[in-house]
Structure 1
Amino acid sequence: MSRTLVIGDIHGSYKALLQILERAAVTPNDLLVFLGDYVDGWGQSPEVIDYLISLKSSHNCVFVRGNHDELLHNWLTTGEYSEQWFNHGGRITMDTYNELTEEKKQLHTLFLESLEDYYLDADNRLFVHAGFTNMNGVTSEYFPKMLYWDRTLWETALALDPSIDILHPFYPKRFTQYKEIFIGHTPVTRIDETTPVNRANIWNVDTGAAFKGPLTILDADTKEYWQSEPVQELYPEEKGRN
């Protein structure tokens, strides 16, 4: 039986990625939807990208673009970077990529260019890295970068009175565009959680793998999930983005 499995922000945690795929008993029959931020944080970003490139030849995969993926792509293609990126995971990524051949870097650049801004399935479920701001949905988004930078979608979901239903005039219209919305980008560790969090019809699958949390894979239908060990335990010699 085919499952739709959603993978949260990996942030260079190659060991955690292997753990969750094994623990979820992933097969080629499953659809794997990766929510972006494959790089920055832990020291195996190149290994993560290599693995994802190979995985798409044997499995049904969707790779959504994260903001960190765009930042890496910008550095690989222009040599330019911001101090903010450098201090939030970019430094270790630059160090590891400087050890790669030009051929390998070009292969990874092509992968980063192939990423999708979002994925909308046949059941009207949206999979996007961060969020969107347009009340009419992602296809009407005036600022495409918001799809991998926005935090207001999740902030609104957290602030929403749970007693307000979809028919209430105060219910956010952008929430009503989709049956469910699966996001990453803003780790749930910010609200002291380390498992996927549901608010309204939004599921946040970023469980803080870039920091002290685990990496998570979620069954979009049943909401069963599998997690790695806390990533810092898999990389005791590193500090990640802490």
Structure 2
Amino acid sequence: MGRSIAIGDIHGGLKALIQLLEKIEVTPEDKLIFLGDYVDGWSDSANVVSYLIDLAKQNTCIFLRGNHDDLTHRWLATGELNEKWLEHGGQSSIDAYRNFSSDEIETHLRFYNQMLDYYIDNKNRLFVHAGFTNQHGPDQEYHNTGFYWDRTLWEMAISLDKSIKPNDTNYPKRLQIFDEIFIGHTPVTRIGESMPIRRANIWNLDTGAAFRGKLSAMEVNTKEIWQSEPVFKLYPSENGRN
């Protein structure tokens, strides 16, 4: 039986992704759950998407939608430009697609269209890029944008008093729905961490690959962790999202 491996935010760092998968020694029996944000950051944004499309031909892959994926998708599909997006890595994706043919872009658009907002496995574990806000669960969410933009789930987890237990009446209802939740979106480097960390029942796998951190993966059953080199060292002539 293969492993179930969750992979954090890549942000165009193809060299780090290849290095990470080599460390993991991925086999076709493994299920790979990508937590989103494949683009916007390092120069290989478009190449990351091409690589993932090919990877899915050999492996079972779950591709979740990140906020940066949504913004890049909108630009590719309609030409929509968002100034904040350009300031936070979007220009790197525009540059990365300059030499792609229309056929290649159509293939990528299909990839973006097929991404999932969230995924629940058979062990009642939720995988989502950012979070959800409805206390009855993601299937009751009114707007799907929260799945790739929400930070309140993680902010709640890191601010939760450790003395409050899951069976307490005032324990957050959102945290009672799933046995575990795996997210990206908010780099753990913001709170001084460099590896995936757990708060309450949430694991955050965004270890700052877009900036000066590493790309991380976790086998969700055993909690084994793998990391690439700091991604900026693999792209020494670039600034990423610094």
TM-score, length basis structure 2: 0.99
Aligned residue number for residue 174 of structure 1:
174
The percentage of aligned residue pairs carrying the same residue is 56
> Following TM superposition, by how much is the alpha carbon of 1:126 offset from its aligned partner in structure 2, in angstroms?
0.3
Aligned residue number for residue 39 of structure 1:
39
> Following TM superposition, by how much is the alpha carbon of 1:2 offset from its aligned partner in structure 2, in angstroms?
1.2
d(CA) in 2 for partners of 1:224, 1:184: 17
> Following TM superposition, by how much is the alpha carbon of 1:142 offset from its aligned partner in structure 2, in angstroms?
1.2
Residue 226 of structure 2: SS of its match in structure 1? strand
Is 2:163 the partner of 1:163? yes
Aligned residue number for residue 118 of structure 1:
118
Aligned residue number for residue 105 of structure 1:
105
Aligned residue number for residue 230 of structure 2:
230
Alignment of 1:65-84 (within 5 A): 65-84=65-84
Aligned residue number for residue 208 of structure 1:
208
CA displacement, residues 155-202 of structure 1 (integer Å, 9 cap, x when unaligned):
000000111101112210010000100000000010011100100100
Is 2:119 the partner of 1:137? no
d(CA) in 1 for partners of 2:118, 2:72: 19
CA RMSD of aligned residues (A): 0.7
Aligned residue number for residue 50 of structure 1:
50
Residue 198 of structure 1: SS of its match in structure 2? strand
> Following TM superposition, by how much is the alpha carbon of 1:92 offset from its aligned partner in structure 2, in angstroms?
1.2
d(CA) in 2 for partners of 1:70, 1:8: 16
Residue 209 of structure 1: SS of its match in structure 2? coil
Structure 2, gaps ≥5 residues long: none
CA displacement, residues 61-110 of structure 1 (integer Å, 9 cap, x when unaligned):
10000010000010011111111000100011101112211111111111
Aligned residue number for residue 87 of structure 1:
87
d(CA) in 1 for partners of 2:81, 2:218: 33
1:64 maps to amino acid: L
> Following TM superposition, by how much is the alpha carbon of 1:21 offset from its aligned partner in structure 2, in angstroms?
0.5
1:29 maps to amino acid: E
Residue 164 of structure 1: SS of its match in structure 2? coil
CA displacement, residues 5-49 of structure 1 (integer Å, 9 cap, x when unaligned):
000000000000001111011111111000000000000011100
Aligned residue number for residue 128 of structure 2:
128
2:183 maps to amino acid: I
Moved over 4 A (4+): none
> Following TM superposition, by how much is the alpha carbon of 1:58 offset from its aligned partner in structure 2, in angstroms?
0.5
1:2 maps to amino acid: G
Aligned residue number for residue 59 of structure 2:
59
Structure 1, gaps ≥5 residues long: none
Q: How many residues align?
A: 242
- Bigger Cα displacement from structure 2, 34-43 vs 167-176: 167-176
TM-score, length basis structure 1: 0.99
Aligned residue number for residue 184 of structure 2:
184
Residue 144 of structure 1: SS of its match in structure 2? coil
- Bigger Cα displacement from structure 2, 95-104 vs 176-185: 95-104
> Following TM superposition, by how much is the alpha carbon of 1:131 offset from its aligned partner in structure 2, in angstroms?
0.2
d(CA) in 1 for partners of 2:119, 2:92: 29
